[in-house]
Amino acid sequence: MAGGQGSRLRPLTLTRPKPMVEVLGRPVIDFVKDAMVDAGVDHIVVTTGYRGEQLSAHVEGWAHSASINARINQEAVPMGTAGSVRLLLDELNETFVVGSGDAVASFDIQALLQAHRDNGAKVTMALWEVEDPTEFGIVGLSQNHNGELDGDLRQGFIRQFKEKPTAEEAFSNVINAGLYIIEPEVLALVPEGEKFDFSKQLFPLVLEMGWPMYAQTIDGVWFDVGHPFELIRAQHALIEGRGTLPFPDPAGTFTAQGSFFAQGVDPHQNSVGSVISENVRLHSSAKVSNSLLMAGCQIEEDVIITDSILGRNVRIGRGSVLRHAVIGDGMVIESHRKVIDSRIPHNE
């Protein structure tokens, strides 16, 4: 699923769809694609909406690099998460996997498929454990189908959903991680031509019908990259987990200061905890910490960049100071300009 506009990621999504925003130099959608390929999935359809033409060009490359059958299905109008998948109803005539194209996660899809089959489920959902469940949609589980809810379980049959509960209402701290194993008869419940959502409408309906729904908590990492600064958190997790997570290392250099430099970019001694993407030109006097510089950025002398994200082909003039800034693609910040806690759109 890759049809959303990513409004909370603006200005980064003014020029690209949310799944094409990069983490460690890779579009976010590639992480869930890799998990599917690793599980033996060989036919992938990407449902697209906003700026779908960019995803079309990207998905065409999957077939060459991973030897899979991959294509897009462009929505004419937004149909919701379940509605967009229902457009493929005639094709989905056996057990299928649905993944969100805007999450970075270490999904073991083979384990989820096995749990799905072993428990005779109509739907199996990947879960993620969080410290504060009040910001998410939580899932309550039981040991048995139609059994009593047990908030301590990390895998079991789904008994209850609750969207953004208060601390008092929270009956668990596991949340929907946006990857599902689904049987075709479940998709047939989605009304034709109607905007319909998996988590808000379809899954509660399946629960009401008494059909078995299973869930299993994943290990490793999970980030729903819904906010620009989640990109920085995700890149830190991937750098720190390098070698222990099922993701390929990107081509480039990892430094002792916790930074990553893309192939062809010389490591920079004044960069700490940052990702410097391909074709970035970084002056030796510039200082970058806890930030993300996307491809083609030009950083001039005496610039200080802290806790910030720069889109593609951004130019920062001499002596500028950026803190907690999100700069859209192609922006130019003039010399000695200070930017604090700001978002500067691409077209402003």
Query: In the predicted model, is pLDDT for residue 107 greater than 50?
Result: yes
What's residue 64's pLDDT?
Answer: 72
The confidence band for 7, taking pLDDT boundaries of 50, 70 and 90, is low
The confidence band for 102, taking pLDDT boundaries of 50, 70 and 90, is confident
Query: In the predicted model, is pLDDT for residue 347 greater than 50?
Result: no
Question: Which domains are delineated in the chain?
Answer: 7-228 (3.90.550.10), 251-344 (2.160.10.10)
Vertex 111: Cα angle to 108 and 116 (nearest 5): 125
Over residues 292-299, mean pLDDT: 92
The confidence band for 346, taking pLDDT boundaries of 50, 70 and 90, is very low
Over residues 176-181, mean pLDDT: 92
Over residues 119-135, mean pLDDT: 92
Q: Are strands 321-323 and 304-306 parallel, antiparallel or unpaired?
A: parallel
Query: In the predicted model, is pLDDT for residue 348 greater than 60?
Result: no
